[in-house]
């Protein structure tokens, strides 16, 4: 897939599950031909069960429904969940499933981390929100803060072709998706679909981040849950601040995994010395992956700025050029900074302490080379397997798809 800017799009920001789930479910209820979902996580909670009900109803009225979940993120789906989907005709597939060993999931690397929904080839949703109740405020202190976008217009054609190639890579399906790519202009925004895979698009998302930061003249505003980017992206952030750009990072202050905050803190001193302002979001765990740069450029998607997302996982972001959308997203992020964040403070070490200097040197050299080292981590051809629910069993891998990972990593198919 060659990323191309598409003009004439309508883009709507959706914040948290309170906005995202009703919008997706309404689109599924209105579907007449096709629903395709790719998601890292589906849990059997009130959100997952609501999704199940909507998909079953859509399939029973003749809508073609495909769902791809990740074999690590959604490994515990039961027959009670899978069975009704299969009976209604929903094609539920799992990306690279693997059995637990001594109760531990070991298939942690190179996951399908995208969150995409496409309905009738005319409406798409892209973002960081999974189908789980922890994206709703009533979940409690562990509820996640996140964003997604609803899209209509020519960009949906690109998204539709991409997910069809990943989930149904038969020639007839690809030709049908290409023939259906006739969306009319729906709004003023330009949009670009960016993906990261382990084949031809290994650094597209990071490269566009770096280019946008490099061209920034006024402000860079990034909210990212898992922040430990490569050396080159850090260098662009520092250079932007040095030339007078206002650079703000919103990172986790109440992390869902403590190691995430510890890793990010290793970078604070380097960034703050050059004028980068680091804010810790403390109301609840931050799960977002969004950014606004200057007056028009913004991005929303599934890609964190950490080694897993930038070097291993399959990710998808939408980049948007539209002043009104950028103003909307910027306003939401400024609200977080002003009302729900605290300035990050790292205690200054004694000048006689050698450990901070050694630690900084180790982090520096790791970040310079981590994208190269990632290529040596375990690699195999992931399986895309159909799931079914035999009585008394868990969702089992049943139908191995031909071709390994090619169709999952790029739209070329098998």
**199 among known catalytic residues:** no
Is residue 287 annotated as a catalytic residue, yes or no?
Answer: yes
Annotated catalytic residue: which of 70, 115, 157, 261? 115
Whether 274 is catalytic? no
Beta carbons within 8 Å of 280's beta carbon, 6+ residues apart = 250, 251, 252, 253, 261, 341, 342, 343, 344
- Other Cβ atoms closer than 10 A to 1: 17
| Residues contacting 336, CB < 8 A, separation 6+ | 145, 223, 250, 279, 281
Q: In sequence order, what are the beta bridge partners of 294?
A: none
| C-alpha span between 75 and 95 (Å, rounded) | 10
**Which of 160, 248, 279, 287 does the annotation list as catalytic?**
287
Residue 120 among the catalytic residues: yes
Judge whether 204 counts as a catalytic residue.
Answer: no
- Active-site residue, selected from the candidate residues 66, 96, 113, 134: 113
**Catalytic residue among 66, 70, 96, 120, which?**
120
Annotated catalytic residue: which of 96, 294, 306, 409?
A: 294
Q: Known catalytic residue: 157?
A: no
Q: Are strands 91-95 and 64-70 parallel, antiparallel or unpaired?
A: parallel
Residues designated catalytic: 113, 115, 120, 287, 289, 294
């Amino acid at each position: 897939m060659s990323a191309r800017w598409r003009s004439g799009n309508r883009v709507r920001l959706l914040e948290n599950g309170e906005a995202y789930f009703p919008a997706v479910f309404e689109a599924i209820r209105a579907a007449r031909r096709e629903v395709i979902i790719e998601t890292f996580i589906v849990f059997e909670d009130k959100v997952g069960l609501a999704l199940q009900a909507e998909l079953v109803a859509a399939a029973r009225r003749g809508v073609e429904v495909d769902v791809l979940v990740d074999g690590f993120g959604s490994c515990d789906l039961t027959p009670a969940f899978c069975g009704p989907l299969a009976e209604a005709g929903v094609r539920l597939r799992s990306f690279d499933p693997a059995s637990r060993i001594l109760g531990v999931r070991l298939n942690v690397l190179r996951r399908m981390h995208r969150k995409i929904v496409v309905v009738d080839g005319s409406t798409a949703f892209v973002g960081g929100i999974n189908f789980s109740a922890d994206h709703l405020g009533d979940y409690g202190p562990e509820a996640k803060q996140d964003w997604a976008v609803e899209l209509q217009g020519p960009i949906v054609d690109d998204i539709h072709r991409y997910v069809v190639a990943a989930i149904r890579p038969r020639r007839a399906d690809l030709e049908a998706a290409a023939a259906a790519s006739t969306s009319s202009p729906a709004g003023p925004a330009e949009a670009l679909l960016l993906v990261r895979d382990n084949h031809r698009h290994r650094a597209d998302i990071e490269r566009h981040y770096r280019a946008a930061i490099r061209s920034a003249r006024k402000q860079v505003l990034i909210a990212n849950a898992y922040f430990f980017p490569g050396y080159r992206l850090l260098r662009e952030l520092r250079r932007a601040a040095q030339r007078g750009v206002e650079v703000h990072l919103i990172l986790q202050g109440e992390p869902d995994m403590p190691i995430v905050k510890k890793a990010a803190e290793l970078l604070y001193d380097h960034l703050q010395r050059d004028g980068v302002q680091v804010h810790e979001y403390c109301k609840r765990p931050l799960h977002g992956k969004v950014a606004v740069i200057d007056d028009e450029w913004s991005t929303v998607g599934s890609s964190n700025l950490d080694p897993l997302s930038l070097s291993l996982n399959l990710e998808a972001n939408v980049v948007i050029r539209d002043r009104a959308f950028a103003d909307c997203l910027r306003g939401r992020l400024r609200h977080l900074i002003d009302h729900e964040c605290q300035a990050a403070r790292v205690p200054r070490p004694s000048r006689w302490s050698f450990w901070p200097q050694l630690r900084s040197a180790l982090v520096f050299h790791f970040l310079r080379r981590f994208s190269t080292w990632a290529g040596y981590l375990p690699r195999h051809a992931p399986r895309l397997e159909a799931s079914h629910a035999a009585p008394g069993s868990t969702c089992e891998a049943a139908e191995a798809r031909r071709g390994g990972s090619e169709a999952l990593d790029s739209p070329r198919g098998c």
